Amino acid sequence: MIEVFANRTYRHLFAAQVIALLGTGLATVALGLLAWRIAGEDAGLVLGTALAIKMIAYVTLAPVASAFADRVPRRAMLVTLDLIRAGVACALPFVTEVWQVYVLIFLLQAASAGFTPTFQATIPDVLPEEADYTRALSLSRLAYDLESLLSPILAAALLSVVSFPALFGGTVIGFLASAALVVSVTLPSPRPARPRGIWDRTTRGLRIYLATPRLRGLLALNLAVASAGAMVIVNTVVIVKGDLGLGEAQLALALAAFGGGSMIAALLLPRLLDRVPDRAAMLAGAAILVPGTLAGVLAGTLPTLMALWAAIGFGYSLAQTPTGRLLRRSAQPEDRPAVFAAQFALSHACWLIAYPLAGRFGAGFGTGATFAVMAALALLGVIAAIRLWPAQDPADLPHDHPDLPRDHPHLADHAAGPGDKAGADHRHAFVIDDLHRRWPPRP
CA 313 to each of CA 141, 223, 233, 288, 356: distance values in angstroms, whole numbers, following the listed order: 11, 15, 11, 9, 20
Domain 1-189: give its CATH superfamily: MFS general substrate transporter like domains (1.20.1250.20)
What is the pLDDT at residue 194? 61
Whether the predicted pLDDT of 223 surpasses 50 = yes
Where in the chain are the domains?
A: 1-189, 204-391
Mean pLDDT value across residues 429-443: 82
Domain 204-391: give its CATH superfamily: MFS general substrate transporter like domains (1.20.1250.20)
Whether the predicted pLDDT of 389 surpasses 90 = yes
Whether the predicted pLDDT of 316 surpasses 50 = yes
Mean pLDDT value across residues 47-67: 81
Instruction: Answer yes or no: same fold for 1-189 and 204-391.
Output: yes
Calculate helix-pair angle for 74-91, 8-39, nearest 10 degrees.
20
Query: How confident is residue 103, by pLDDT bands cut at 50, 70 and 90?
Result: very high
Amino acid at 68: F
Question: Alpha-carbon distance 121 to 363, whole Å?
Answer: 39
What is the pLDDT at residue 45? 66
Mean pLDDT value across residues 95-101: 87
What is the pLDDT at residue 291? 95
